[in-house]
Amino acid sequence: MRNVISLRPRCALPLPALAAWFGAAVVVHGSSAALPQTTDQTLAALARLERQIAALQRQVKGYHRLKQEVAKLRQRDDATWRQQQEQTLIKRLATSVLREAKRQEGYQIGYDDGFFMQSPHQANKLVINGELQFRYMYTHSNGFISPGPTDSSGSGDTSGFSFRRARLTFSGNIISPNLQYNIQGDFAGDSSNNGNFQLNNLWFAWQISPMLGLRFGAFAVPFSKVQWYENEWAFDLQETPEELVPFDPDHSLGVSAFGDLVANKLGYEVMVNDGSQANVTGCSSAVNGAQDNRLGIYGRVQWAGAGGESDFADEPDYKNRNHFVWMLGGALGYESQNATGTAFPAPQTTLVAQGLSAANPAAFLAPIAFTGNLYRATADWSAKYRGLSVNTAVYFQQFNDTLASGAANVFENEMGRSSVYQLGYFVQAGYFVVPHHWQVAARVGQVLSSGPKRMEAYSLGLNYYFAGYHASVLSDVTYIPDAAYTDAQTGTFVNSCDLICKVQFQLWF
């Protein structure tokens, strides 16, 4: 409400009367100056008139000052009133806009590290990602240096172009953000699914709480940190460590419980599955009788001592962190398999031991479809700081024979013992010599077993990121003096000395 103040001068004389009085005073004063003799009454009247004029002048000055103060008060009052009106108008406009946005709210489509489409409140969401890796690989095999039962004579060079990976991933949630799904297929997959297309992931999950979720389907076995990544475009070097291959359970079919006991600090996952590399649909034709799959059990836990788990969703320190972060992880695994010819309804062969060393002659053996129990363990440590990334891990596994007395055992036939062990480890480092663009990387490691042979591997790489992880070129050279296994992906040949050069362009969206 505006404040109105009315002011009147205390003097009862109006301004015209004041002017008349002033004129009379001037005339009388002039007359008195002209007349030499002035009466006392006239002088007294003039004195009273001068005092009245002075009083009127003071009142007029006070009136003007008061008038100025009133003007200031009115100006301030008008500004407050205008501000109140503007606030009321803004509230009305905001309410109208929100009401209209809510009325027109619907499905959203866009891109945020993947193309997405989602319903209101994200109750239903679909995210589409793609990964393309086009590679040239050259391998020089310098002959077989440790003749064995799996060797063939000769040496030579191999080279060629290939799609290392060509994947599409569909993920998101349905009905509720807590009901999640993931479907990933690789059009450049190997023949483990009897074709060029391989199903890597096909799972759905119920996130009961941040500390507990349940996952069902086919997905990576929670053993090595590399499998926990699931982002194979975010490695320091192109391939997973050569030392991991004999210990890698890869993907399998099963159910798991997972969650964060401490948000983004302490995570875990425990999985019951069909065993190593048993990532198939479960139909009997695919596994030679799915009913005979022996269950495997794997569990992994990891703790981010500095930073958070999210800091290790990739290997390189692409973000060039200015604070030191590190994470420690570990896992245990157990599985059993019956690969004998009398197994019901058919022999199981998904559990394969490779990279084992025979004693006589001293050579690495071909992959063995193992019968019995397998125990696995691993520990790993990772750190990042100012463009430097360090990753190291150690793997261990023990094969125990469980055949009936008198039955043939492949380990005894080849190695003279019924139980054998394998040990592998590597140390890897990467550093951005030009932040966000040029990175150098190196890795060294070994694979040892109960026999006398061991495999060593040395890798050196140079990578360039011209659009971050979305587009990059990776190159590396790997030298293996005596390869423990044959792997078409890594370019190794069992019992040979291999020099492997790879250049890979990769695109991720």
Q: What are the extents of the domains in the chain?
A: 15-104, 131-165+206-508
Q: What is the pLDDT of residue 424?
A: 96
User: Rounded to 5 degrees, what are φ and ψ at 201?
Assistant: -125, 140
Q: What is the pLDDT of residue 36?
A: 44
Residues 6+ away with beta carbon under 8 Å from 490: 239, 242, 245, 478, 500
Could you give the count of Cα atoms lying within 13 Å of 186 in the half-sphere of its Cβ? 20
Q: Give the integer Cα–Cα distance in Å for 292 and 213.
A: 28
Q: How far is CA 333 from the centre of its chain?
A: 26
User: What torsion, rounded to 10 degrees, do the Cα atoms 214, 393, 266, 273 define?
Assistant: 10
Candidates 445, 429, 437, 448; CA nearest to 382 is 429
Q: How far is CA 348 from the centre of its chain?
A: 37
Q: Give the integer Cα–Cα distance in Å for 358 and 449.
A: 9
Q: Which element (helix H / strand E) includes 472?
A: strand 471-480
Instruction: Name all contacts of 318-323 with Cβ < 8 Å and 24+ positions apart.
Output: 318/432, 318/436, 318/465, 318/468, 318/469, 320/386, 320/387, 320/432, 320/435, 320/436, 321/384, 321/385, 321/386, 322/386, 323/385
Q: Give the integer Cα–Cα distance in Å for 21 and 49.
A: 8
Q: Give the integer Cα–Cα distance in Å for 218 and 198.
A: 12
Candidates 324, 337, 480; CA nearest to 410 is 337
Contact criterion met (CB below 8 Å) for 184 and 166: no
Q: Give the integer Cα–Cα distance in Å for 113 and 266.
A: 25
Could you give the count of Cα atoms lying within 13 Å of 236 in the half-sphere of its Cβ? 29
What size, in residues, is the chain?
A: 509
Q: What is the pLDDT of residue 87?
A: 78
Q: Which pair of structure tokens corresponds to residue 496? A: 């040979």
Residue environment code for 418-449, b if the CB has 16+ CB neighbours within 10 A, otherwise e: ebbebbbbbebbbbbeeeeeebebbbebebbb
Ramachandran bin of 320, using left for φ above 0, alpha for ψ from -120 to 50, beta for the remaining angles = left
Q: Which pair of structure tokens corresponds to residue 195? A: 């074709």
Cα distance from N-terminal residue to C-terminal residue, the chain: 61
Per-block mean pLDDT, blocks of 10 residues, the chain (509 long): 40 44 46 52 82 78 75 69 74 75 70 88 90 93 62 70 90 94 84 61 94 94 83 84 91 93 95 83 50 81 94 92 96 89 76 82 81 93 96 94 58 74 96 96 93 92 94 96 87 89 95
Q: Give the integer Cα–Cα distance in Å for 256 and 261.
A: 15
User: Rounded to 5 degrees, what are φ and ψ at 311?
Assistant: -70, -15
Q: Give the integer Cα–Cα distance in Å for 75 and 69.
A: 10
Q: Which element (helix H / strand E) includes 28?
A: helix 15-34
pTM of this prediction? Answer: 0.76
Query: Whose structure tokens read 């569909």?
Result: 170
User: Rounded to 5 degrees, what are φ and ψ at 85?
Assistant: -65, -40
Q: What is the pLDDT of residue 296?
A: 92
3-state secondary structure 372-411: EEEEEEEEEEEEEECCEEEEEEEEEEEEEECCCCCCCCHH
Contact criterion met (CB below 8 Å) for 478 and 500: yes
Candidates 289, 293, 263, 291; CA nearest to 277 is 293
Name residue 378's amino acid: T
Q: How far is CA 269 from the centre of its chain?
A: 18
For CA atoms 59, 60, 63, 69, give the dihedral sign: negative
Q: What is the pLDDT of residue 260?
A: 95
Q: Which CATH superfamily is domain 131-165+206-508 in?
A: Porin (2.40.160.10)
Contact criterion met (CB below 8 Å) for 271 and 256: yes
Q: Give the integer Cα–Cα distance in Å for 205 and 258.
A: 10
